[in-house]
Chains A and B, each alone.
Chain A
Amino acid sequence: EAGVVQSPRYKIIEKKQPVAFWCNPISGHNTLYWYRQNLGQGPELLIRYENEEAVDDSQLPKDRFSAERLKGVDSTLKIQPAELGDSAVYLCASSSTSGRPWDEQFFGPGTRLTVL
């Protein structure tokens, strides 16, 4: 079974430029998460989807960040415009059901973003 796929793996951009990250969850997983991991810190949840619906986006900086999960499968996270402080690893995870903590979250390898 394929794991969570993320692309690109690495991205370097100038500040004020837009950037987008793509995630393909494990087949059949209804719940999808986007996390941001700053250097030396643990992952921090940005947004959680149940199928197409964003059920928790309280941590998403909505002035510059947006996300979508059309058709309840793949998801895209966008930053526009990027700032220096957005440099981090962006992790996507998926789980099979509705976000109960014992439903294991499977993480992708992440996209390392560097904003210059």
Chain B
Amino acid sequence: DQQVKQNSPSLSVQEGRISILNCDYTNSMFDYFLWYKKYPAEGPTFLISISSIKDKNEDGRFTVFLNKSAKHLSLHIVPSQPGDSAVYFCAASESGDSWGKLQFGAGTQVVVTP
């Protein structure tokens, strides 16, 4: 049962433009959301996160938006750079005993073209 879904397996964007990655979830008990970035032959690295008490979190070129009523979050990358070409995973966690048990989406491959 996939509780975190990334329905776009790939995204191509021009350098300098905005990349928008989407993520939907079904578990209303999730209250912490994260984005990870993965390059080939490397492990995922943490990018940005958001708590369910917020609807936006910004870190440099990366902004995550959370819409709890729609069970939807998105990652905006502005401006996109060639080094942003990677697979991006959305992840979510419940609180309490499930702290640290991240549920990942299938990932979105982003390609930034010159």
Do A101 and B93 touch across chains, with their CB atoms under 8 A apart? yes
- Checking A93, A99, A100 against B43 with a beta-carbon cut-off of 8 angstroms, the contacting residue is A93
Query: Chain B's nearest CB lies how many Å from the CB of A7?
Result: 14
Q: Return chain B residues, CB-CB under 8 Å to A102.
A: 32, 49, 51
Asked if A79 is an interface residue, CB under 8 A from chain B, the answer is no
Do B32 and A45 touch across chains, with their CB atoms under 8 A apart? no
Give complex CA distance A56, B100 in Å.
10
Flag B39-58 by CB within 8 Å of A: 1 or 0 each.
00111111001010000000
Query: Chain A's nearest CB lies how many Å from the CB of B73?
Result: 14
For chain B, the count of residues having a C-beta within 8 Å of the partner chain is: 24
Asked if A40 is an interface residue, CB under 8 A from chain B, the answer is yes
Size range of the interface on A?
20 to 34
Query: Chain A's nearest CB lies how many Å from the CB of B70?
Result: 21
Query: Chain B's nearest CB lies how many Å from the CB of A41?
Result: 5
Asked if A31 is an interface residue, CB under 8 A from chain B, the answer is yes
Question: Which of A14-22, A63-71, A80-88, A106-114 interfaces with chain B?
Answer: A106-114
Asked if A104 is an interface residue, CB under 8 A from chain B, the answer is yes
Do A99 and B46 touch across chains, with their CB atoms under 8 A apart? no
Asked if A51 is an interface residue, CB under 8 A from chain B, the answer is no
Q: Return chain A residues, CB-CB under 8 Å to B91.
A: 42
Asked if B34 is an interface residue, CB under 8 A from chain A, the answer is yes
Give complex CA distance A9, B105 in Å.
24
Do A91 and B43 touch across chains, with their CB atoms under 8 A apart? yes
Give complex CA distance A102, B9 in Å.
26
Query: Chain A's nearest CB lies how many Å from the CB of B23?
Result: 11
Q: Return chain B residues, CB-CB under 8 Å to A53.
A: none
Show 27 A/B contacts (Cβ-Cβ < 8 Å), sorted by A.
A31-B100, A33-B100, A40-B106, A40-B107, A42-B4, A42-B89, A42-B91, A42-B105, A43-B44, A43-B89, A44-B104, A45-B101, A48-B101, A56-B101, A91-B43, A95-B100, A100-B99, A101-B100, A102-B51, A103-B100, A104-B46, A105-B46, A105-B100, A105-B102, A106-B45, A107-B45, A109-B43
